[in-house]
Every structure is written in structure tokens, then in C-alpha cells.
Copies of this chain bind each other. A is one copy, B any other.
Amino acid sequence: MTSGGATLGYIQEQVGHVLRDFLHLQRPVLLGAGEELRPGLDALTSLLAGGKRLRAAFCYWGWRGAGGEDCPQILAAAAALELLHSSALVHDDVMDGSDSRRGQPSLHRQYANRHAEQGWHGSPEAFGAAVAILLGDLLLAWTDQMFQSSGLPAEALRRGQPVLDLMRTEVMAGQYLDLLGQAAGDVTLASALRVVEYKTAKYTIERPLQLGAALAGGTGPARSTGAATATAYGLPLGVAFQLRDDILGLFGDPAQTGKPSGDDVREGKRTVLLAITRARASARQAAIIDRRLGDPHLDEAGVAEIRAVITGTGALAECELMIDRHVAKALAALDEAPITGEAKEALAELAVTATARRG
């Protein structure tokens, strides 16, 4: 590995390797309990093969930025975040009733289908949800196993652990607020932004960067400046990342997003995009949003109507502007950051990748 060559592609490849190695270690434990575990193992293997590995990449660059060398140990520790994230996706899909993920049926849907095909006892949906809860738990438990067995020195792990702990508690707090907001019908921009801060910005960028930096070490002022950089770069970038996700969910190509267009609306998600739309909407436009939001049977014509309101109110243009402004803010934070030049370059590139329009 030559310095400067650690592109996202390299990280994705290495993280894929270490996750496969990790699953290989779990195989005898699971199959030792029973051959019946094989489809579960296969489903997890297939799930863990995908994903952009953004959280691992930010953790890796937090480490490199603080002066850590490229090595298999940091890639293994960073890959633990992908186990955490996969767990969150599996459980999110159950909580949201989402039937697809990365262009495939979601895990609970796969198991519900299998139950129905086999003509088993009970409800296919309840069975699918139960298996997905369990497999998500397994991924969450494996997060620590992978982190602790990454091969990093005990001292490094002890520095990183509190960041990992905080990250998990915060993301679950954010999800709780999100669920509550959806249920209570809270559509204000302020509450949508708070959910984004906890569920996305801290979880995807700020904490992974801080985790990598904490693992690499450093004490005193350098360390707290590093943590401040992760915040100054991570929080605005996280908002931009989520806004792009909101837009792609309605205006993107389902072949690229891996989800049908408009699923956020069907699931009643209080996105920032919709909060801005609603704040700019006329009474007639607001009525359309309120009627459509959370309708699980919303068809393509209904989604098109929502898109027209988002565009018509100027909310889409405002969000694009917000993305640009937030990315610029994140990039500006890099300029003065006390991290290696190489890390600055990689993080600038990641900021663009994470918020790109993708076609």
C-alpha cells in the first residue's frame, strides 16, 4: 500500500475481505448448533457483501489523519462498523416494513417468503420479522467481537471503546426520536434536523472519524482538535449526505438506490426534504403532502404528485443549495484541520462521493 493510494475502492475491497474472514470464523459455531443455520449464514454473507462502506472509510481516515499507518488491524476495526450498520438496516427494514434493500428482498421479506413457500405454521410475516430481529441481533453482537479481535493493541481499543459506545447509543436515540416524530406527526424542520444529526451525521461521519482518531492515539490539545475537526467536518457533511438520500429516494433511479421510489413517503418518514417542502407549501400543496405521507399503498401517480409539490414549492432547489452549502462548510473545516495532507485529500473526495447525484 503506497501512501495516498487508499481510495474508497481499496477500503471497500479490504473491508469485504475481513468481513468474509470473520463470517468464516462464525461458520463452525453456527453450523455446529445445527445445519438449519446455513440459510441464515448465507443471507448474512450476501447482506455483508454489499454497501458503500462509508462508515468504515471514515473510521479508516480518522486513523490515517491522526498519523496511523495503513494496516489490516485498522481495516478490521473499521469493518466492525459495517456489522453495526448492517444490523441497523435489518432492524430498520422490520421497523419500517420495507420489503427491499439494495435491490433484493429485505431479510424479513426473504424469510416470510420462505415460510409461505414451505406452508409452515403461523404467520409468514411474523416469522420473517422474528428471524430478522434475531439475525440483526447477531450482527450487533458481532460488532464487538470484530472490534475487540481486530488485532489492535489493547490500549488503542480502550481509547476507541467509549466512542463506539457513544455512537451506538446516539444512533438508537436518533431512531427513537424518528419513530416518535413519525407517530406524533411532528413535521417541523428543527425536529427533522435533530433526527438527521443523531441518526446520520454523528453515526455516519463524526463518530467513525473520531473512533479512528481515538484508536490512533495522541493526547492533549492535538486529540481534542482532532475530535473538533470530526465535528466541524462531519456534522454539515452528514446533513448534506442525508439530504441527498432524501432527494434520491424520490427523484433517484430505483436501480441505483435499491429501493422503490417514494418508499420514504409510504413509510411516513419526516425527512428534511419534506419538512422544507411543507414549510413552503400553499394550503393546497400542504394538503397533498399530509394526505399522501404514510400511505402504504401510494402508487406511482401519487409519488409523482408529491414530486411535483416538492419541485413546485422550490424545496428541491433549496435542498440542492443546502447540500452545496453544507459540503462547502465541511470542506472548509478540512482546510484548518490538524490532520495529514493525505487524509484531507481523501476526506474531500469522500465528501463529494457521499453527496453525489449518482447519474
Decide if A172 touches B137 in the complex (CB within 8 Å).
yes
Chain A residues with a Cβ closer than 8 Å to the other chain, count = 62
Known A-B contacts A91-B133, A169-B26; A126 and B140 likewise in contact (beta carbons under 8 Å): no
Binary B-proximity of A158-178 (CB < 8 A = 1, otherwise 0): 100100011011101111110
> Which residues from chain B contact A184 at a C-beta distance below 8 Å?
118, 120-121
Q: In whole angstroms, what is the CA distance A82 to B97 when docked?
A: 30
Binds B, one of A6-14, A33-41, A59-67, A272-280: A33-41
Decide if A33 touches B198 in the complex (CB within 8 Å).
yes
Q: Is A221 an interface residue (CB 8 A)?
A: no
Q: Is A287 an interface residue (CB 8 A)?
A: no
> Which residues from chain B contact A285 at a C-beta distance below 8 Å?
none
Q: In whole angstroms, what is the CA distance A145 to B172 when docked?
A: 15
> Which residues from chain B contact A170 at a C-beta distance below 8 Å?
29, 33
Decide if A172 touches B141 in the complex (CB within 8 Å).
yes
> Which residues from chain B contact A122 at a C-beta distance below 8 Å?
182-183, 268, 294
> Which residues from chain B contact A120 at a C-beta distance below 8 Å?
183-185
**B29, B121, B294: the one within 8 Å of A169 (CB):** B29
Q: In whole angstroms, what is the CA distance A95 to B185 when docked?
A: 27
CB distance from A347 to the nearest CB of B (A): 26
Q: In whole angstroms, what is the CA distance A166 to B138 when docked?
A: 11
Decide if A179 touches B130 in the complex (CB within 8 Å).
yes
> Which residues from chain B contact A304 at a C-beta distance below 8 Å?
none
Decide if B268 touches A121 in the complex (CB within 8 Å).
yes
Between A120, A137, A142, A161, the greatest number of chain B beta carbons within 10 A of the residue's beta carbon is seen for A137
> Which residues from chain B contact A57 at a C-beta distance below 8 Å?
none
Closest to A148 in B: B161
Decide if B95 touches A133 in the complex (CB within 8 Å).
yes
**B37, B142, B144, B166: the one within 8 Å of A177 (CB):** B37
SS class, residues of chain A in contact with chain B: helix
CB distance from A203 to the nearest CB of B (A): 12
Decide if A34 touches B141 in the complex (CB within 8 Å).
no
Q: In whole angstroms, what is the CA distance A30 to B198 when docked?
A: 11
Decide if B121 touches A182 in the complex (CB within 8 Å).
yes
Decide if A91 touches B131 in the complex (CB within 8 Å).
no
Q: In whole angstroms, what is the CA distance A129 to B132 when docked?
A: 13
Decide if A121 touches B185 in the complex (CB within 8 Å).
yes
> Which residues from chain B contact A26 at a C-beta distance below 8 Å?
169
Please provide the chain A residues from 15 to 54 with a CB less than 8 Å away from any CB of chain B in the complex: 26, 29-30, 33-34, 36-37, 40
Decide if A166 touches B29 in the complex (CB within 8 Å).
yes
Q: In whole angstroms, what is the CA distance A165 to B26 when docked?
A: 10
Decide if B33 touches A134 in the complex (CB within 8 Å).
no
Closest to A181 in B: B36
Decide if B172 touches A138 in the complex (CB within 8 Å).
yes
CB distance from A145 to the nearest CB of B (A): 4
Q: In whole angstroms, what is the CA distance A142 to B143 when docked?
A: 12
Q: Is A317 an interface residue (CB 8 A)?
A: no
Q: In whole angstroms, what is the CA distance A97 to B170 when docked?
A: 28
**B126, B135, B145, B268: the one within 8 Å of A165 (CB):** B145
Some 22 contacts from A to B, beta carbons below 8 A apart, are A30-B169, A33-B173, A36-B176, A37-B176, A40-B176, A94-B133, A95-B126, A95-B133, A97-B126, A121-B268, A121-B294, A122-B182, A122-B268, A127-B183, A134-B176, A134-B179, A135-B176, A141-B165, A142-B169, A148-B161, A149-B165, A154-B158
